[in-house]
A and B are shown apart, each in its own frame.
Chain A
Amino acid sequence: MTRVHDMGGRFGDGPVTPESEDAPVFAEDWHGRALAVTLAAGFLGQWNIDVSRHARERLSPRDYARFSYYEKWISGLADLLVESGVLTVADLSGVGSDDPHPLSARVLKAESVAAALAKGGPADRPSDISARFKVGQIVRTVHPAANRLVDGGHTRLPVYASGATGMIMRLHGTHVLPDSNAHGTGEAPEPLYAVVFPASELWADPENPKDEVVLDLWQSYLERA
Chain B
Amino acid sequence: MPHDDPDHPHALLPPDPALRVKALETILTRKGLIDPAALDEIIDTYQNKIGPQNGARVVAKAWIDPDFRKALLKDATPVVADLGFYGRQGEHIVAVENTPDLHNMVVCTLCSCYPWPLLGIPPGWYKSDAYRARAVREPRKVLAEFGVTLPSETAVRVWDSTAEIRYLVLPMRPAGTEGMGEVDLAALVTRDSMIGTGLPKVPS
Measured CB to CB, the residues of A under 8 A from B are 5-11, 13-19, 21, 23-30, 32-37, 39-41, 44, 49, 53, 56-57, 59-60, 62-63, 66, 68-71, 74-79, 81-83, 86-87, 89, 91-94, 96, 98, 100-101, 103-104, 107-110, 112-114, 117-124, 156-158, 160-161, 170, 172, 175-176, 178, 192, 194, 196, 202-203, 207-208, 210-218
> Which residue in chain A gives the minimum CB-CB distance to B121?
A25
* A123-B92 in contact given A37-B21, A82-B9 (Cβ < 8 Å): yes
**A16 with B145: CB separation less than 8 A:** yes
Q: Is B43 a contact partner of A63 (Cβ separation < 8 A)?
A: no
Interface residue B42 (Cβ < 8 Å from any Cβ of A):
yes
In the assembled complex, how far is the CB of residue A91 from the closest CB belonging to chain B, in whole angstroms? 6
> Main SS of the interface on chain A?
mixed
Query: In the complex, which of the residues A26, A104, A208 contacts B32, with contact meaning CB atoms closer than 8 Å?
Result: A104
Given A158-B109, A211-B139, does the pair A74, B20 have CB atoms closer than 8 Å? yes
- Is the contact region of chain B dominated by helix, strand, or loop, or is it mixed? mixed
The residue from A33, A68, A211 contacting B156, defined by CB atoms under 8 A apart: A211
User: What is the CA–CA distance of A192 and B163 in the complex, to the nearest angstrom?
Assistant: 8
Q: Which residues of A contact B155 (CB under 8 A)?
A: 208, 210-212
Q: Is the CB of B88 within 8 A of A121?
A: yes
Known A-B contacts A18-B197, A30-B18, A98-B30; A214 and B159 likewise in contact (beta carbons under 8 Å):
yes
Q: Which of B86, B87, B197 has the most CB of A within 10 A?
A: B87
Q: Does B184 contact A (CB under 8 A)?
A: no
With a cutoff of 8 Å between Cβ atoms, the chain B residues found around residue A196 in the complex are 157
B residues with CB within 8 A of A: 2, 4-5, 7-10, 12-13, 17-18, 20-25, 27-28, 30-35, 37-43, 45-47, 51-52, 86-92, 94, 107, 109-112, 120-121, 123-125, 127-134, 136-142, 145-147, 152-165, 190-192, 197
Q: Is the CB of B130 within 8 A of A13?
A: yes
The distance from the CB of B21 to the nearest CB of chain A, in whole angstroms, is 5
A18 engages B35 (CB within 8 Å): no
Chain B nearest Cβ from A212, distance in angstroms = 5
Task: A8 to B110: give the CA distance in the assembly, Å.
Answer: 7
What are the 10 tightest A-B residue pairs by CB atom distance, in nearest-first order?
Answer: A8-B109, A104-B32, A216-B163, A60-B5, A210-B155, A75-B10, A123-B164, A36-B39, A78-B10, A110-B37
Instruction: For A123, give the chain B residue with the smallest CB separation.
Output: B164
Residues of A within 8 A of B7 (CB): 60
B134 touches A16 (CB 8 A): yes
Known: A7-B133, A110-B35, A172-B92. A19 touches B125 (CB 8 A): yes
- Among B39, B45, B127, B137, the most chain A Cβ lie within 10 Å of the Cβ of B137
Q: Which residues of B contact A7 (CB under 8 A)?
A: 109, 129, 132-133
Q: How far is the CA of A35 from the CA of B176 in the complex (A)?
A: 41
Q: B137, A96: Cβ atoms under 8 Å?
A: no
* 23 A-B pairs with C-beta separation under 8 A: A6-B110, A10-B134, A13-B130, A16-B131, A17-B125, A17-B130, A21-B192, A24-B47, A36-B43, A40-B35, A49-B164, A71-B17, A75-B8, A78-B12, A101-B32, A104-B32, A112-B38, A113-B38, A123-B91, A194-B165, A208-B156, A211-B157, A214-B157
Please tell me if the beta carbons of B163 and A122 are within 8 angstroms of each other in the complex. no
**B142 contacts which chain A residues (CB < 8 A)?**
16
A61 to chain B, nearest CB (A): 9
Q: Are B163 and A123 in contact (CB under 8 A)?
A: yes
Closest CB-CB distance, A65 to chain B, in whole Å? 8
Interface centre among A6, A19, A25 (most CB of B within 10 A): A25
* B9-A36 in contact (CB<8A): no
Q: Indicate if the CB atoms of A156 and B110 lie closer than 8 Å.
A: yes
